[in-house]
Every structure is written in structure tokens, then in C-alpha cells.
């Protein structure tokens, strides 16, 4: 049994805000890193006060600092000197104007790892584009691979930020590994847009191989059939069914009480099944319409068929699997309530569990950061508070 | 990123060799766009792990590895005699990362999954289309491609690198269990947070959105406008951004209509507003609108098609696409990594995906007995 979290002893100075950056430092904090989030009442993190803030900032410390003032900047630099990683996700160029660009911070910490994430990256003609994750899903082609042919582009969800958040974590830990081996830090220029385009290689290669854009196909699949959504008992109630082998196809026919479908000539071939999809879908829908979505999925799973209910997020939150697997975790949030909050999608077997603590309030950790880490006296801190430097 | 990755395929090849895209939709095991993109820079060997010869080669290969990654069905590697405990005995300090649909614990751990079922079960499908007229005839949809698998893969990379860091610091290996479902659920942490605070899930019904004056996507976080050559996505949500946006449109007369003066008003009267915006946007091109908007610091982007993307000047300057020659599939442009490391430039050694069994001789014959 290892009693030490993997990233214990690693310090992260977190200048990031909103979603993508904080999501990555959340992950580092849960895995044991000492994450110090800096913020200011002058320009609070826009997610402050919302429930998502309570998740984006789990397990971090939070100190108030006004880095627009020279004394504040100097204190931030002192913290840089004590950190292994600095993370920021301002628009390109902002952190340099604040005086915290890589060239400046490596002066005080030559081996620091700095991760800069922005909408379109930190070079190229569009680097100054003002971006939101939801718009980047349009810019990058990500939204065009989904939906139905000839319709308006899909409106998308909040996909970009959490996807980027995980990749930023990956990049941070890759750089940490590199530093353990070589002793060198480095600067990492990260583009959210490219992270989205990199996740649709099929469409990019299809276009080059065939000279045409592949139409989106809703819930359909190129190869597997039946493959899609079937209406269940109740309103807006759907089960996803994806048959990937002949064995699953036969099992499905039995499960829905239509064994004769399985023995129809040619139906052991997915392509033939696709040609007869109306007949097959009608038979499946007739069965699913008599069941609740979760029950239908359970019956099909017990017969060995990949199936799952189409859930909204509150039903996901109440999914018993996520409590029995340990993903949702009881935490006392800073309003004194006990709530189940998410952890991370992996377990290190036989090691101490992830560190899930409530998200901090702004300035909550001023004392630890400024007195214990920077060695300031109480009167110095009081003066800095009065001067709105610690602010 | 530079790791020496040896991909082990069964003698008949990875299943993804049979998944498209293919040129002219003609399946060919060395021309799958999916396989080619996912296996750049790896070496490939074929092994039948059910034979003693294959098992022995695998054992020797594992001895040379820092990390073993598998996404076989739950328990399969163990049944083949390569569970974590066995591998650890053979190779102290080894890291084994196992990716399975639901992880190795929890009530649904034995459930099967595909991209479709994971996308829907994790609630990512629920909001993807935006609100619809009739939720009973318009089901939620998944995104295109293989997003669930990519999300799980990214989580597994992160976890594996954390384990590698731990190994470098302490000498200890680990067994990392990654759940694809939880990785997809992790994409919705904002929604989970709202649920934890008793907030209802967003409705899928456009009617409910209208009746309750909940701002639709258009009001809340922006929307999509038709142009004379496609679409443009805009989000002038702040009052100051809205003022500048009106300037881009040449300050139309309707802008002084009291319904549209405040942000709340614009959110309440989304549909009327969107119609007026569309009348203007249809007369212009998507790139023109995006450029004029961005010049005024308004978040707006052309809705790029894949062909736009491959011709995009910004991505070209950043050398995002990597052109790689493959002996069978030919020269193709692959999306590169979305990051640039100042001290470790990529690509370290851009090599195409391996042919089936391409490195058998080089790797398997060199193994110590």
C-alpha cells in the first residue's frame, strides 16, 4: 500500500480561470499536487458563486492577489519561484502584459514548467481571436461531424472545455516526467481549437481519401446494424442499442421475443440488416416501448448486448453505478452541506484514494500562502490587505 | 511524445483496421483512416496470446516495458495469465493501465458498451442537438467519430503518465483502472455540480424553453447564423460586445427596439432577434463576418467544414497538420498534437502507422530467450 498520492510534493501555481484551465488543475490537485489558485476580487473568476465552481476548483488552495500592482506581481513571482508548474488560460498575450510571461518567470525559476492554453494558440494569424469553447466547436469542424445531413449545425454542448482540461493535465504530467529525467522545464503553447480538430481524424482523412466531406449520420454507424435509439415507455425516453456481432444480433432477436428474425436469410449480415432496417427497427421499438429505458438496457445487457439508456445529467448523477464504483464522492462543501461530488475516472489499485476536498473561497488560504510559504509577518499581511494588494 | 510504443495486434489485425474511413469506401486493412491516425509513430507486432509461443513473447516484451496498456474486456488479460500480479512478478515496478467500459467495480461493471451507448448514458447526448420541437420523435444524438473512446484514451494517457511520474519518484509501479463511462461522465462535471446543488437538468423541449423564458442556446452562449456560403457562430453576450456587434452590422434601425436593448431582453426575445440577425447575415460570407467581428473583439467564428480546416491559414502557419507517407495508403495529412513544447519539439520521429506485423522480425527476433 502506497500512502502517498502520486503528485504529492508537486506545487502548481494556478493563474487559470473559467473552465478548461481550472479543470486541469483540479485533476492535478485531486492526484496530490499542492495547487495554489490566485485570484482577485478586482476581477473574480467568472464561475465564482456557481455550483460548477465547486467542482472546477476542488481540492485547491485559493489566495487573493492583485497582480496588476507591482507589489502583487512581485509576490506572484515569489510564488513562481516555489512552484513546479504554472498554468494560465488567458487570451494570447495577456499574461505577458501582466509581467508573468515565460521569459519573465524563468528568470526566477529556470526549470519551471509553464502551460499556456488559449482558444487558437499563441502563434499564427488568428492567435488574438476572442474565443469561447462553444464557438471553437464550430471553428474546428468538431460540430460538423455530428447531426443530420442538410440541417443547421448542431448547437453543441460544453464539450470543448472538459476535453481540453484533461489534455492539459496530460501535458502537464508529461512535462513533469521530462523534468524528472532531464532537469529541464519548458513552455507549452496549447491550442484549444487544435485539441478539437485532433479529435476528428476520421473526418479529416475521409475528406482527403475521397475528396468529399462525409455527411454526419446522427446515431447511425457505418458498419454496425441495428445501431441507434429506440423509444421506451414514457416521454422522451430512449435506449441506445448497438449490435456489433452476429452473436449479439441473435441474442437481441431472442431478447425482444422475435427469434424468427435471426433466421431470416441474409440477416446474419449487418449490411443486409441495414437494408431491412425499417422492419427490424419496428420490431425492436415494439419491444422497447413496453419497457422503461433503464429496464430495457438491463434486460439487453443481461443477454450480452451493448445497450444503455439515454440519460440527462440529473439521472447520471443518480446512477447507482457511479456511487458503487466510487466516482461520486461525499464531500462537505463550504456551505456546510454534505454533497456527492465527482472524482476522477480512474483508480490506482491498492493506493490511497484521491484527495477530494471542497472548493475554496477566494482568500481562504491567504494565511498559509503568505505567512507559511512566503514568510510574511501578520502585520505585513495586514498592510498588504489594506493597500488592496492582497485583494 | 516520444515513448517507444510497441503495438501488439492479434494475427488477423486490430479491429480498427476494418473500420473506415477508406478510399472509395473500400475496406482494406492497411488503409483505414482511423487505424492510420491512431497508430502514428508506433511499432507493430502480431502475437497470438492464446498460444505458448505468443504468450512467451509477450512475457519477454512486458519485461522490457514501463507501461502495459490494454482495453480488452474486463478480466480478459487476467484469464490469459497476464494479470497485474503476474506481470508485476515478472517485471517489478511495471505499470498496467486497464481501460474497460465501466471499470472493474460498481454495479454495472460487466456491462458492454460502444461509443453510442457511452455517449448517451453519460448525458453527453442530451444537450448536443440543443432543444428540439418534439423530444419524442427527435432522439438525443451522439457526436460523430469515436469521441467516447478518445475521451477514455485521453484519461488513460493522463493516468498512465501520473503513474509513470510516481514510478520515477518512488520506484513503485501500479495498476491503473480506467472507466470509459466515468471518463465520459467527467465531461459533464458542470452538470453534475448543478445536480449536486439540486438544480434540474436542462430541458430538451423547445416548447418548455419558450414557455419558461429560459434562454435558449442563442441567448445564453451564442448561436449560429446562416450566411451566403454556410454558417457563422457568434456570441456577443456582454452589453459592450453587443454594442460593437451592432457596429459590425452597420447599426440597424431595429437595434433601438426596447426588446433588444438589454441582455435580458435579448435572451427573452431570442427568436425574433435571431430572425433579424439572419436577414443581415445571409447577405455576407462566413469568413467575412468572422473577420469583421473579431476585428471588433467579438467572439465569432466561421463554421468551418473539413475542407475549410485543411485550407486554414492559421493552422498552416502553426504546422498543425503533419504530412506523412505510408507505403500502402500514400501521403496524407494527419492532425498533429494541439501543443508545442519549447524544449522537446514534435514530431520527434514522424513515422506512419505500422503495417500488420511490420516489426515482427526487428522486435520479436531480438528478444532474449
pLDDT string in tens for chain A (391-residue length): 678 999 999 999 999 999 999 999 999 999 999 999 999 999 999 999 999 999 999 999 999 999 999 999 999 999 999 999 999 999 999 999 999 999 999 999 999 999 999 999 999 999 999 998 889 999 999 999 999 998 989 977 789 999 999 999 999 999 999 999 999 999 999 999 999 999 999 999 999 999 999 999 999 999 999 999 999 999 999 999 999 999 999 999 999 999 999 999 999 999 999 999 999 999 999 999 999 999 999 999 999 999 999 999 999 999 999 999 999 999 999 899 999 999 999 999 999 889 999 999 999 999 999 999 999 999 999 999 999 999 9
Q: Identify whether residues B170 and B271 lie together within a single domain.
A: no
Q: Annotate A172-190 with b (16+ C-beta within 10 A) or e (fewer).
A: bbbbbbbbeeeeebbbbbb
DSSP E strand stretches across A32-139: 34-39, 61-64, 85-88, 113-118
CA A156 – CA A143 distance, rounded (Å): 7
8 A C-beta contact, residue B223 and residue A155: yes
Q: Are residues B25 and B162 in the same domain?
A: yes
Asked if residue B322 and residue B298 are part of one domain, the reply reads no
Helix (H, G, I), strand (E, B) or coil at A233: coil
Q: Do residues B126 and B238 both lie within one domain?
A: no
A123 within 8 A of A100, measured Cβ to Cβ: no
Q: Does residue B313 sit within a domain? A: no
| HSE-up of residue A109 (Cα within 13 Å, Cβ side) | 24
Query: What CATH number does the domain containing B172 carry?
Result: 3.40.50.10540
Same domain, B155 and B265: no
Residues B299 and B335 in one domain: no
| DSSP letters spanning A286-355 | HHHTTS-HHHHHHHHHHTT--EEE---HHHHHT-HHHHHTT-EEEEE-TTS-EEEEE--SEEETTBPPP-
Residue B299 lies inside a defined structural domain of this protein: yes
Residues 1-60 (B) with a CB less than 8 A from some CB of A: 1, 18-25, 31, 33-34, 36-38
Provide the pLDDT for residue B348.
61
Asked whether residue B123 is assigned to any structural domain, the reply reads yes
Cβ-Cβ contacts under 8 Å, A317 against chain B: 191-192, 195-196
Task: Answer yes or no: do B273 and B336 share one domain.
Answer: no
Let me know if residue B199 belongs to a domain: no
Which DSSP state fits B353?
P
**Which is nearest to A177 in space by CA: A165, A185, A187?**
A185
B242 found inside a domain: yes
The answer to whether residue B194 is domain-embedded is no
pLDDT at position B161: 98
CB atoms within 10 A of CB A244: 19
Select the residue from A201, A305, A307 to test the B interface by mutation, using most B Cβ atoms within 10 A.
A201
Q: Do A201 and B308 touch (CB under 8 A)?
A: no
Whether residue B27 is found in the same domain as residue B170: yes
Do B337 and B292 share a structural domain?
no
Indicate yes or no: CB of A304 within 8 angstroms of CB of B109. Answer: no
Mutant choice from A345, A347, A348, A356 vs B, greatest count of B C-beta within 10 A = A345
Which of B269, B303, B337 terminates a domain? The answer is B303
Residues B220 and B251 grouped into a single domain: yes
| A to B CB pairs, distance under 8 Å | 480
Q: Is the pLDDT of residue B216 over 70?
A: no
Residue B206 lies in a domain: no
Give residue B342's domain range: 6-187+318-364
Average pLDDT over residues B170-181: 97
* Whether residues B47 and B121 fall in one domain: yes
Is the pLDDT confidence value at B196 over 60?
yes
Higher pLDDT, B270 or A222: A222
- B84 in a structural domain: yes
Q: What is the CATH number of the domain that holds B254?
A: 3.30.1540.10
Per-residue model confidence as pLDDT tens digits over B112-171:
999 999 999 999 999 898 889 999 999 999 999 999 999 999 999 999 999 999 999 999
Please, which residues bridge with residue A238 across strands?
Answer: A231
Instruction: With a cut of 70, say whether residue B368 has pLDDT above it.
Output: no
Q: Are residues B84 and B110 in the same domain?
A: yes
C-beta atoms of B121 and A218 within 8 A: no
- The answer to whether B206 touches B133, Cβ cutoff 8 Å, is yes
Domains and CATH numbers, chain A: 11-199+326-386 (3.40.50.10540), 227-310 (3.30.1540.10)
What is the domain count for chain B? 2
Amino acid at each position: 500500500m502506497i500512502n502517498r498520492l502520486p503528485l504529492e510534493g508537486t506545487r502548481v501555481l494556478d493563474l487559470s480561470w473559467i473552465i478548461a484551465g481550472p479543470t486541469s488543475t483540479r485533476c492535478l490537485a485531486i492526484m496530490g499536487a499542492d495547487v495554489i489558485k490566485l485570484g482577485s476580487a478586482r476581477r473574480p473568476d467568472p464561475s465564482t458563486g456557481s455550483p460548477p465552481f465547486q467542482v472546477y476548483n476542488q481540492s485547491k488552495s485559493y489566495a487573493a492577489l492583485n497582480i496588476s500592482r507591482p507589489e502583487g506581481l512581485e509576490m506572484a513571482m515569489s510564488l513562481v519561484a516555489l512552484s513546479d508548474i504554472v498554468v494560465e488560460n488567458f487570451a494570447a498575450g495577456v499574461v505577458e502584459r501582466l509581467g508573468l510571461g515565460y521569459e519573465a518567470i524563468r528568470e526566477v525559476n529556470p526549470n519551471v514548467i509553464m502551460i499556456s492554453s488559449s482558444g487558437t494558440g499563441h502563434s499564427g494569424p488568428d492567435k488574438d481571436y476572442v474565443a469561447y469553447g462553444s464557438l471553437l466547436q464550430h471553428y474546428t469542424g468538431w460540430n460538423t461531424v455530428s447531426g443530420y445531413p442538410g440541417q443547421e449545425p448542431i448547437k453543441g454542448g460544453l464539450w470543448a472545455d472538459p476535453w481540453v482540461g484533461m489534455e492539459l493535465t496530460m501535458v502537464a504530467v508529461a512535462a513533469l516526467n521530462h523534468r524528472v529525467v532531464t532537469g529541464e522545464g519548458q513552455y507549452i503553447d496549447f491550442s484549444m481549437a487544435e485539441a478539437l480538430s485532433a479529435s476528428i481524424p476520421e473526418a479529416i482523412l475521409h475528406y482527403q481519401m475521397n475528396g468529399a466531406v462525409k455527411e454526419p449520420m446522427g446515431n447511425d454507424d457505418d458498419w454496425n446494424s441495428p445501431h441507434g435509439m429506440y423509444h421506451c415507455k414514457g416521454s422522451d425516453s430512449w435506449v441506445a442499442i448497438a449490435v456489433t456481432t452476429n452473436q449479439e444480433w441473435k441474442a437481441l432477436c431472442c431478447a425482444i421475443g422475435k427469434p424468427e428474425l435471426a433466421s431470416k436469410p441474409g440477416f446474419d449480415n449487418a449490411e443486409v440488416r441495414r437494408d431491412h432496417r425499417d422492419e427490424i427497427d419496428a420490431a425492436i421499438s415494439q419491444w422497447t416501448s413496453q419497457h422503461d429505458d433503464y429496464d430495457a438496457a438491463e434486460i439487453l445487457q443481461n443477454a450480452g448486448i451493448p445497450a444503455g439508456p439515454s440519460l440527462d445529467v440529473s439521472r447520471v448523477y443518480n446512477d447507482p453505478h457511479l456511487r458503487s464504483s466510487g466516482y461520486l464522492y461525499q464531500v462537505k462543501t463550504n456551505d456546510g452541506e454534505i454533497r456527492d461530488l465527482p472524482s476522477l475516472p480512474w483508480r490506482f489499485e491498492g493506493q490511497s484514494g484521491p484527495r477530494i476536498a471542497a472548493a475554496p473561497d477566494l482568500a481562504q488560504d491567504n494565511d498559509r500562502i503568505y505567512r507559511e510559504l512566503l514568510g510574511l509577518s501578520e502585520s505585513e499581511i495586514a498592510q498588504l490587505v489594506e493597500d488592496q494588494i492582497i485583494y | 511524445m516520444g515513448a517507444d510504443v510497441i503495438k501488439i495486434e492479434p494475427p488477423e489485425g486490430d479491429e480498427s483496421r476494418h473500420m473506415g474511413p477508406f478510399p472509395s469506401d473500400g475496406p482494406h486493412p492497411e488503409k483505414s483512416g482511423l487505424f492510420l491516425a491512431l497508430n502514428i509513430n508506433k511499432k507493430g507486432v502480431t502475437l497470438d496470446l492464446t498460444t505458448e509461443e505468443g504468450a512467451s513473447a509477450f512475457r519477454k516484451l512486458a519485461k522490457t516495458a514501463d507501461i502495459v496498456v490494454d482495453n480488452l474486456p474486463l478480466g480478459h488479460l487476467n484469464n490469459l495469465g497476464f494479470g497485474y500480479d503476474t506481470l508485476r512478478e515478472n517485471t517489478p515496478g511495471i505499470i498496467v493501465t486497464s481501460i474497460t467500459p465501466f471499470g472493474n467495480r460498481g454495479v454495472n461493471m460487466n456491462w458492454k458498451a460502444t461509443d453510442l451507448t457511452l455517449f448517451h448514458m453519460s448525458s453527453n447526448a442530451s444537450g448536443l442537438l440543443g432543444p428540439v420541437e418534439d423530444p419524442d420523435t427527435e432522439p438525443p444524438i451522439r457526436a460523430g467519430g469515436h469521441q467516447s473512446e478518445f475521451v477514455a484514451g485521453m484519461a488513460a494517457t493522463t493516468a498512465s503518465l501520473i503513474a509513470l511520474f510516481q514510478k520515477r519518484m518512488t520506484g513503485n509501479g501500479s495498476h491503473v483502472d480506467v472507466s470509459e463511462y466515468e471518463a465520459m461522465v467527467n465531461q459533464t462535471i458542470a452538470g453534475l455540480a448543478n445536480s449536486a446543488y439540486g438544480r434540474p437538468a436542462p430541458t430538451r423541449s423547445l416548447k418548455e424553453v419558450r414557455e419558461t423564458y429560459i434562454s435558449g442556446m442563442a441567448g445564453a452562449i451564442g448561436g449560429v447564423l446562416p450566411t451566403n456560403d454556410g454558417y457563422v457562430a457568434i456570441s456577443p453576450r456582454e452589453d459592450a460586445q453587443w454594442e460593437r456587434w451592432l457596429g459590425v452590422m452597420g447599426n440597424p434601425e431595429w437595434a433601438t427596439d426596447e426588446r433588444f436593448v438589454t441582455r435580458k431582453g435579448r435572451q427573452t426575445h431570442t427568436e425574433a432577434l435571431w430572425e433579424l440577425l439572419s436577414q443581415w447575415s445571409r447577405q455576407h460570407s462566413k469568413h467575412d463576418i468572422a473577420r469583421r467581428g473579431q476585428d471588433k473583439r467579438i467572439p465569432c467564428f466561421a463554421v468551418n467544414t473539413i475542407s475549410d480546416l485543411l485550407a486554414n491559414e492559421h493552422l498552416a502557419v502553426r504546422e498543425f497538420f503533419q504530412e506523412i507517407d505510408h507505403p500502402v495508403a500514400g501521403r496524407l495529412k494527419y492532425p498533429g498534437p494541439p501543443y508545442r513544447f519549447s524544449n522537446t519539439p514534435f514530431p520527434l520521429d514522424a513515422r506512419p502507422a505500422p503495417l500488420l506485423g511490420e516489426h515482427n522480425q526487428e522486435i520479436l527476433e531480438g528478444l532474449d530467450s
